[in-house]
Amino acid sequence: MLADLVYKTILKDLEKRIFDNEFPAKKLPDERTLTSQYGVSRSSIKRALNVLANEGIVFKKRGSGTFVNPLYLKNRSLFNYEGSNLGVTDSMRANGKRPGIKVLDFSVIPATKEMQTDLFLASEDFVYRIRRLRLLDDQPVMIETGYIPIKIVPELSRTIVSGSIFNYLEDKKNQTVTKSFLSIEAQPSTKEDQELLNLSSNEPVGVMSGIFFLDDGTPFELSNMRLHYKYMKYNALVELK
Amino acid sequence: MLADLVYKTILKDLEKRIFDNEFPAKKLPDERTLTSQYGVSRSSIKRALNVLANEGIVFKKRGSGTFVNPLYLKNRSLFNYEGSNLGVTDSMRANGKRPGIKVLDFSVIPATKEMQTDLFLASEDFVYRIRRLRLLDDQPVMIETGYIPIKIVPELSRTIVSGSIFNYLEDKKNQTVTKSFLSIEAQPSTKEDQELLNLSSNEPVGVMSGIFFLDDGTPFELSNMRLHYKYMKYNALVELK
DNA sequence: TTTTAAAATTGGACCGTATCAATTTTCAAA
DNA sequence: TTTGAAAATTGATACGGTCCAATTTTAAAA
């Protein structure tokens, strides 16, 4: 796919070598040696090593070298966190359960001031308002309200919206949603939450709201997801700089 | 502190300019212009912009420019681990409120099976059990239960634990906690949550649990944090690979 | 006016170099 | 043998350059 980038090639090769236990002393060759071994610039080596370090696979010590994180080999599952694709059809299917979608609302409205700034729209632009209930094995798990600019997908229909919009984009329009900026919090459930998600009054919802971006950086969807609390689990590897 | 680095200086300046709304059109100057304006190399500009992009503060579109993420301004959170925060104590202080700690329990127990795998311990190892109530301006906001291997900090005391453990490590032992693996979810509040955090029965807690690592990759603490729901807002830039 | 193709703009990848800072190694002096 | 300063090692920061790719702008053609 995109593996023709120099630093990615080296990244993958180093990763493989680490798992093949090619560095039993837990110490990688120094950067200058790697530079000449791979025949690339030191910047590319550093870039690859930085990715590995950020993923917790190696750690670096100035003056002494780059080392394999012993924990990574022994307890690899710990580091195999899912960057959390909650809210995407695919990640639900990955869970082994059968996903379902019930469209609660599909309409077109003028973009509010807030949407104009968040989605980079002009004042005369319109957006779809898409409200869906998501199910897993017929169990309701999430109320999703999304706003998508008409001009990005003018042909959107209720039928398309009954499935995965992201998959539609990828299959039919060759555009990919690769990034999102999400804000995650907990809230008491509202009456509507309780009815739609089968919650009792003391049970909360997890709220994930934010923007989904296309791979070219265009803000694509403004989304608000209210999840049954048992179905929200967000994993993250966090840097505490 | 470390702000004498070129890219960090620019990073902070750009951050300030963004929050001062110096780019009302949400578009930053292009990289080459920034390069000549700041009188530094384009690499340094790129590095600063990349940090901003990774934090979700800006996003970039090749061919068109670099833009401010409008949502970031609205969603700056209390427990924001991104950016330049150290531990929980520091990230609270960063918000302008006065942090407080009340120690609920400080004891030593044998490591459970789970702790043994997560903290990389042997079956005969012991851990501190540290239970603390965290306050902001005297308001209780979080119940924190942490488990730390004795052998890492044999001299830990109730006094030390009344302050920031991470700061103690950094000041006195020259060790830094740089990473954590966190799992974030929502739960109904328990009786104890309600009493300690002043919650009513329908109000939930946000739960953040996981492992904190030292900079050399050693797992340092197994932690469980139950937050008053109003104080938990977690921002994340998510890559949907 | 609309369409289309060329040009300019703008971020991305990569290279090679110089200098600095933390750590380890070496080796002479005590 | 032990100590301690100098040297070597090794990652970090920064510079400035080349070429490329996606997008927008410009301007000519229809």
What's the whole-number mean pLDDT along residues A120-135? 91
Query: Using an 8 Å Cβ cutoff, are A205 and A187 in contact?
Result: yes
Of A75, A78, A72, whose CA–CA distance to A23 is shortest? A72
Q: Is the CB of B62 under 7 A from strand D?
A: yes
CB of A89 within 8 Å of any CB in chain B? no
pLDDT, position B87: 41
> Which residues in chain A (126-165) have CB-CB distances under 8 A to chain B?
none
pLDDT, position A76: 63
A188 closest CB neighbour out of B82, B86, B204: B204
Q: Is the CB of B13 under 7 A from strand C?
A: no
Residue B57 CA distance to nucleotide C12 C1' (Å): 19
What's the whole-number mean pLDDT along residues B109-119? 91
pLDDT, position B152: 87
How many whole angstroms from its chain centre is CA B235?
11
pLDDT, position B63: 93
What's the whole-number mean pLDDT along residues B62-68? 94
Report d(CA B59, CA B51) in Å as an integer. 10
What's the whole-number mean pLDDT along residues A8-26? 92
pLDDT, position B176: 79
Average pLDDT in chain A: 86
Is the CB of A183 less than 8 angstroms away from the CB of B81?
Answer: no
Give the predicted TM-score (pTM) of the model. 0.86
pLDDT over 70 (residue B241): no
DSSP percent split of chain B into helix, strand, coil, nearest 5? 30, 35, 35
Best-predicted range by mean pLDDT (A82-96, A125-139, B159-173): A125-139
Is the CB of A240 less than 8 angstroms away from the CB of B81?
Answer: yes
pLDDT, position B187: 96
Best-predicted range by mean pLDDT (A41-45, A95-99, B228-232): A41-45
Tracing tokens 């991470």 back to the chain, one arrives at B166
Best-predicted range by mean pLDDT (A22-26, A166-170, A198-202): A198-202
Confidence class of residue A133 from pLDDT cuts 50, 70 and 90? very high
Calculate what percentage of chain B has a pLDDT beyond 90: 54
Q: What does the pLDDT look like over B153-185, one tens digit per residue?
A: 888 999 999 988 887 887 777 677 877 888 888
pLDDT over 60 (residue A89): no
Residue with the larger pLDDT of the pair B110 and B173: B110
Residue with the larger pLDDT of the pair B19 and B97: B19
pLDDT over 50 (residue B23): yes
pLDDT, position B76: 61
Residue with the larger pLDDT of the pair B82 and A197: A197
> DSSP label at A17?
H
Degrees to nearest 5, angle at CA B136 with B189 and A207: 45
Confidence class of residue B237 from pLDDT cuts 50, 70 and 90? confident
Report d(CA A193, CA B233) in Å as an integer. 20
Report d(CA B159, CA B142) in Å as an integer. 19
Chain A residues lying within 8 Å of B64, measured CB to CB: 217
Of B165, B166, B161, whose CA–CA distance to B105 is shortest? B161
pLDDT, position A67: 93
* Coil, helix or strand at residue B57: coil
Q: Is the CB of B42 under 7 A from strand D?
A: yes
What's the whole-number mean pLDDT along residues A9-27? 92
Chain A residues lying within 8 Å of B56, measured CB to CB: 181
* Coil, helix or strand at residue B41: coil
pLDDT, position B78: 44
pLDDT, position B93: 44
Chain A residues lying within 8 Å of B213, measured CB to CB: 56
pLDDT, position A204: 97
Residue B176 φ/ψ region, left for φ over 0, alpha for ψ in the -120 to 50 degree band, beta for the rest? beta
pLDDT, position B126: 95
**Closest nucleotide to B62 by C1' from CA:** C11
pLDDT, position A75: 64
Q: Is the CB of B63 under 7 A from strand D?
A: yes
* B100: enclosing H helix or E strand: strand B99-110
Confidence class of residue A177 from pLDDT cuts 50, 70 and 90? confident
pLDDT over 70 (residue A207): yes
Residues 104-163 of A with CB under 7 A from strand C: none
Q: Is the CB of A47 under 7 A from strand D?
A: no
Degrees to nearest 5, angle at CA B182 with B176 and B183: 170
pLDDT, position A216: 80
Confidence class of residue A128 from pLDDT cuts 50, 70 and 90? very high
Buried (b) or exposed (e) across A42-64, using 16+ Cβ within 10 A?
A: eebbbbbbebbbeebbbbbeeee
Q: What does the pLDDT look like over B187-201, one tens digit per residue?
A: 999 999 999 999 999
Residue with the larger pLDDT of the pair B239 and A40: A40
Report d(CA B220, CA B173) in Å as an integer. 13
Q: Count the neighbouring beta carbons within 10 Å of the beta carbon of residue A98.
A: 11
Q: Count the neighbouring beta carbons within 10 Å of the beta carbon of residue A142.
A: 23
Confidence class of residue B75 from pLDDT cuts 50, 70 and 90? low
Residues 49-78 of A with CB under 7 A from strand C: 61-64
* Coil, helix or strand at residue A18: helix
